């Protein structure tokens, strides 16, 4: 039997080699004698705990919410959209960013972050899980969109800080890469003024394919919500023509159809049956997104995979959808489901049912960064939403940006890999009294 000191030395060498492989070189690990139990947590002897050179470091100094009016891509025709970002500064001089955007709801999220700031200042940013649980439990009687989005912004900023402290991209903290590039679907690239005909959609899809697009999503039902949520014969006829055109224009193109929860169960089934011959990748929210039982009725009636998740705020809400086999594609969103910490758990729950994940991503570049790291590392990733991104702004904040219509590169800079200069904050910041 080896002496205890020699055994401890061997264990430290093993942990150092393991961390160097996962997190990159130059990381010092290995204190204490107990076995590694998890990645994060204050009271566990986790890998992250053992990497902490100084347990008093990364003390949170300041938490600041910002409302930003970042310029959106004109193709989406969604102007005046405001984003809610959280900035966390540590006494070490590290700044982390998180996105908690929820359109039309940024003012109460801003206020929620201000309310939570005193509980966070003085705490260690290392303790991501502990801080998440503290926030979640303090607001246990008021969980809802504003609270969960505020928690999401704080959580993402903490992951950003820890990645920067360790000098590694966040995906390495999540287990490393499963893929180098993240497949995307283009968003609303057909526009709203295109004639609703097979010929027009075939022509436009050929143009998108020529631009490099491999998938795309749009809502063919805009301004067509009928009384009783009933689909009309005219809408069905136009839908069939448009989707047939997309399939003709792109035989291998992945078609994603957005429903925005517009239909009753019977109409949703009829629409799904209309889509079946054209093999869409998914049909998103054919019925209101929080009704798992109604979603189940539609899913069991069609071969088309149903997608939902942007309104599902935690794994606890997700459980009903999984137990009922109500969806086949989870569309979780870090800005809606309380950040990277909860997103990972939701994706893992979905993976146990062999369901895929296609993150909802119409938010700021900060949210896109968080999703890119998650998509790179998760096992059951399907595809990422392009959203209404502005390539010029993405390049400014990421430093470099490959504006592909097919797949995006995962950031390699430490943390989320994104920087928001003071000049950008000054130019695009919106006072809370003017927020929408």
Choosing from 360, 371, 373, 389, the catalytic residue is: 360
Cα 192 vs. chain centroid, distance in angstroms? 26
- What phi-psi label fits residue 122: left (phi over 0), alpha (psi between -120 and 50 degrees) or beta? left
What pLDDT score was predicted for residue 47? 52
Q: Give the mean model confidence (pLDDT) for residues 104-111.
A: 88
What pLDDT score was predicted for residue 280? 98
Q: Where are the alpha helices (DSSP H) in 300-410?
A: 315-323, 339-351, 365-377, 391-398
Residue 81: pLDDT band with limits 50, 70, 90? confident
Q: Give the mean model confidence (pLDDT) for residues 72-89.
A: 71
Give this prediction's pTM.
0.86
Of 31-40, 249-258, 311-320, 368-377, minimum mean pLDDT range? 31-40
Q: Give the mean model confidence (pLDDT) for residues 286-307.
A: 96
260 counts as catalytic:
yes
Q: Give the mean model confidence (pLDDT) for residues 15-37.
A: 44
Choosing from 82, 143, 260, 371, the catalytic residue is: 260
389 counts as catalytic:
no
Cβ atoms of residues 248 and 208 within 8 Å: no
Tokens encoding 95 = 């700044």
What pLDDT score was predicted for residue 390? 80
Q: Is the pLDDT of residue 77 over 50?
A: no
Q: Which residue has the higher pLDDT, 393 or 377?
A: 377
Cβ atoms of residues 204 and 190 within 8 Å: yes
Coil, helix or strand for 268? helix
Residue 409: pLDDT band with limits 50, 70, 90? very high
What pLDDT score was predicted for residue 141? 78
What pLDDT score was predicted for residue 433? 83
According to DSSP, the residues that pair with 415 across neighbouring strands are: 169
Cα 30 vs. chain centroid, distance in angstroms? 33
Residue 184: pLDDT band with limits 50, 70, 90? very high
Q: Give the mean model confidence (pLDDT) for residues 318-345.
A: 96
Q: Give the mean model confidence (pLDDT) for residues 239-253.
A: 97
Residue 17: pLDDT band with limits 50, 70, 90? very low
Q: Is the pLDDT of residue 426 over 70?
A: yes
What pLDDT score was predicted for residue 100? 92
Q: Is the pLDDT of residue 31 over 90?
A: no
Residue 407 has φ and ψ, to the nearest 5°, of -160, 150
Q: Give the mean model confidence (pLDDT) for residues 90-111.
A: 91
Enclosing H/E stretch for 95: strand 95-99
Q: Give the mean model confidence (pLDDT) for residues 249-253.
A: 97
Mean pLDDT for the chain?
A: 87
Q: Is the pLDDT of residue 72 over 50?
A: yes
Domains of the chain, start order:
4-50 (no CATH), 60-167 (3.30.390.10), 173-413 (3.20.20.120)
Residue 428: pLDDT band with limits 50, 70, 90? confident
End-to-end Cα distance, the chain:
68
Coil, helix or strand for 355? coil
Q: Give the mean model confidence (pLDDT) for residues 80-108.
A: 90
What pLDDT score was predicted for residue 12? 47
- What phi-psi label fits residue 335: left (phi over 0), alpha (psi between -120 and 50 degrees) or beta? alpha
């Amino acid at each position: 039997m080896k002496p205890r000191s020699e055994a401890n030395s061997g264990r430290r060498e093993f942990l150092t080699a393991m961390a160097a492989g996962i997190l990159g070189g130059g990381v010092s690990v290995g204190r204490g004698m107990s076995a590694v139990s998890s990645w994060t947590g204050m009271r566990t002897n986790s890998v992250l705990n053992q990497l902490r050179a100084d347990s008093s470091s990364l003390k949170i100094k300041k938490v600041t919410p910002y409302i930003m009016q970042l310029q959106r891509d004109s193709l989406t025709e969604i102007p005046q959209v405001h984003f809610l970002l959280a900035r966390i500064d540590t006494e070490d001089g590290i700044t982390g960013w998180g996105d908690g955007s929820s359109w039309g709801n940024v003012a109460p999220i801003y206020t929620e972050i201000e309310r939570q700031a005193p509980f966070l200042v003085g705490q260690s940013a290392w303790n991501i899980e502990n801080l998440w649980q503290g926030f979640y439990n303090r607001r246990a009687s008021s969980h809802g969109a504003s609270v969960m989005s505020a928690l999401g912004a704080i959580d993402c900023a903490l992951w950003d800080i820890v990645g920067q402290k360790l000098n590694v991209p966040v995906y390495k903290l999540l287990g490393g890469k499963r893929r180098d590039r993240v497949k995307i679907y283009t968003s609303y690239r057909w526009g709203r003024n295109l004639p609703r005909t097979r010929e027009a959609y075939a022509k436009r899809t050929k143009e998108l394919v020529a631009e490099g697009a491999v998938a795309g999503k749009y809502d063919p039902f805009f301004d067509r919500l009928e009384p009783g949520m009933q689909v009309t014969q005219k809408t069905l006829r136009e839908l069939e023509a448009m989707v047939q055109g997309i399939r003709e224009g792109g035989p291998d193109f992945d078609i994603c159809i957005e429903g925005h929860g517009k239909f009753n169960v019977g109409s949703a089934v009829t629409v799904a049956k209309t889509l079946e011959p054209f093999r869409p990748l998914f049909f998103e929210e054919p019925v209101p997104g929080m009704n798992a039982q109604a979603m189940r009725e539609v899913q069991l009636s069609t071969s088309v995979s149903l997608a939902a998740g942007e309104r599902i705020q935690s794994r606890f809400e997700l459980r009903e959808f999984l137990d009922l086999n109500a969806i086949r594609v989870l569309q979780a969103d870090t800005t809606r489901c309380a950040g990277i910490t909860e997103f990972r758990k939701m994706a893992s729950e979905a993976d146990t049912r062999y369901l895929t994940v296609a993150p909802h991503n119409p938010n700021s570049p900060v949210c896109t960064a968080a999703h890119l790291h998650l998509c790179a590392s998760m096992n059951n990733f399907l595809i990422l939403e392009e959203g209404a991104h502005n390539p010029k702004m993405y390049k400014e904040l990421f430093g470099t940006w490959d504006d592909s219509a097919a797949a995006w590169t995962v950031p390699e800079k430490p943390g989320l890999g994104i920087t928001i200069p003071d000049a950008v904050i000054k130019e695009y910041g919106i006072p809370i009294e003017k927020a929408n």
